[in-house]
Chain A
Amino acid sequence: DTAVSQTPKYLVTQMGNDKSIKCEQNLGHDTMYWYKQDSKKFLKIMFSYNNKELIINETVPNRFSPKSPDKAHLNLHINSLELGDSAVYFCASSLGLAGGLAETQYFGPGTRLLVL
């Protein structure tokens, strides 16, 4: 009954490969997010979707493409992986935009990506 789940938990791959990370939430939330945590443990938002619509798209390489098949899922596809993509990627969800009010975000366990 995990609230926000991510697969895989660990991903080790070669430079140049294409990989996907999946995220699912069973909280009935409308908004989902992808964050990247670098080696210095600094978290930064990458994308956010609300009801399958992209609402936040930070300056990330266009090798990163989020896809939301439905509001319970937000997947992250990465093309032509580079060494600098090694990081922990966290998915999160929140109830919704709620008229602009701030909301608690619920985080997944993270996916540790290592590019060799």
Chain B
Amino acid sequence: KNEVEQSPQNLTAQEGEFITINCSYSVGISALHWLQQHPGGGIVSLFMLSSGKKKHGRLIATINIQEKHSSLHITASHPRDSAVYICAVRSSGGATNKLIFGTGTLLAVQP
């Protein structure tokens, strides 16, 4: 079992829909990252958070440390949001800045 689990693995949505991607983890963490991998392969860091909520444009990320759970929300989804969304946690034990990755959620937004 992975230390970082994401759901769903695959998600198809219609343009304009509100999208939620979930991430659960089983290790102690000091931070959680949400990354976006475009169809071309490039990886972009969307958020890094250790508590509460962050918002950037149509993207919102929340984290509940007690429940070891984070969600990434996309409001008013658009076909250009189609990508793989990856959750990664920075473990609070062991090597500094070591990221443990989830398996990703493949999002397809249809026009």
User: CB distance B101 to A42 under 8 Å?
Assistant: yes
* Chain A interface mostly: strand
Whether B74 is near chain A, meaning CB under 8 Å from some CB there, is no
Check A48–B97 contact: CB distance below 8 A. Answer: yes
Chain A window 99-115, contacts with chain B (Cβ cutoff 8 Å), 1 for yes, 0 for no:
01111111101101000
With beta carbons under 8 angstroms apart, the residue of B43, B86, B97, B104 that contacts A103 is B97
CA A40 to CA B90, docked complex, whole Å: 21
Interfacial residues of chain B within 73-102, with CB under 8 A of chain A in the complex = 84, 86, 88, 90, 95-99, 101
| A residues near B90, Cβ cutoff 8 Å | 102
Chain B residues with Cβ under 8 A from A41's Cβ? 37, 84, 103-104
**Does the CB pair B30–A102 fall under 8 Å?**
yes
Beta-carbon contact of A102 and B43 below 8 Å: no
User: Which of A45, A102, A107 has the most CB atoms of chain B within a 10 A radius of its CB?
Assistant: A102
In the complex, how many angstroms separate the beta carbon of A12 from the nearest chain B beta carbon? 16
Assembly CA distance A110 to B35 (angstroms)? 15
**Given A102-B90, A107-B44, also A56-B95 (CB < 8 A):** yes
| Complex Cα spacing A56 to B84, Å | 26
The minimal Cβ–Cβ distance linking B18 to chain A, given in whole angstroms, is 25
Contact A103 B99 (CB under 8 A): no
Q: Is the CB of B31 within 8 A of A105?
A: no
A-B contact pairs, 5 of them (CB 8 A): A43-B86, A48-B97, A55-B97, A90-B43, A105-B33
